[in-house]
Amino acid sequence: MVPDLVTLVDRDDNVVGAEEKIRAHREGKLHRAFSVFVFDEDRRLLIQRRATGKYHSAGLWSNTCCGHPRPGESTGNAAARRLPEEMGFSCQLRHAFQVVYRADLDNSLVEHELDRVYVGRFSGVPRPNPLEVDATMWVAPEELRSRILEEPHRYTAWLRLLLLDDGWAAVDEFLGVSMRLSAPF
C-alpha cells in the first residue's frame, strides 16, 4: 500500500520535505492543508460530522471539507479533488485566506498546519461518503457560533480557530455580508 503523504513546509510555505500523514500528526510537523467552507443561497454554511472511523476528531462537527494536498499537488487542486470525494458534489472554489495553527487533538495527535481556506456556493443536496462523513447540516454562521460557545467539545479545533481568524473578513466579502464571529471559544 502506498503511504498517504503530506507536504512539509516552513512558516513561509517553502517545501522542506514530505512525511507520512500519521507520523506528521504524531510529531506535530508543519504541513500544508486546506479547509473548504461551502454556503448555500441563504448564506448558510454546510457543516459535516466526521465519521466515527476517522483517525482523529471522529464524531466532531467541522467545516464542509478539509484535507491535505499530495506532494507536488497544488492546494487548490487538492481542495477541488477532495470535495466530491468527501461530500459528493463539486462547485467553484475561491481562495479566501490562509493561517498557520497548532492544536492538540485526541489520540496524542497534533494538527500543525499551514491551512488555506477556500469558499464556494452550492444549492443542491450533498451525497457524502459514509467513510468520511456521518451527517451534514446547513447552519447560519450566527447559529453555529452560538452552538460552539455552548458546546465547544462537539466541534473540531480548526473550525473554532478558523471562524475567529482575522482572515474571515475575506469570507464575509465573498458572501457580501458581515458574518464576523468575534467571541472566544
Residue whose C-alpha is closest to residue 114's, from 68, 50, 156: 68
Confirm whether 91 is a catalytic residue.
no
Please state whether beta strands 5-9 and 15-20 pair in parallel, antiparallel, or not at all (unpaired).
antiparallel
Kindly name the residue from 19, 86, 113, 132 that is annotated as catalytic: 113
Q: How many CB atoms lie within 10 A of CB 139?
A: 16
Kindly name the residue from 19, 66, 86, 91 that is annotated as catalytic: 66
In the numeric block, the cell 517545501 is attached to 15
In the structure grid, which three cell numbers stand for residue 131, read together?
A: 467513510
Residue whose C-alpha is closest to residue 75's, from 118, 119, 21: 118
Q: Point out the residues that are catalytic.
A: 66, 113
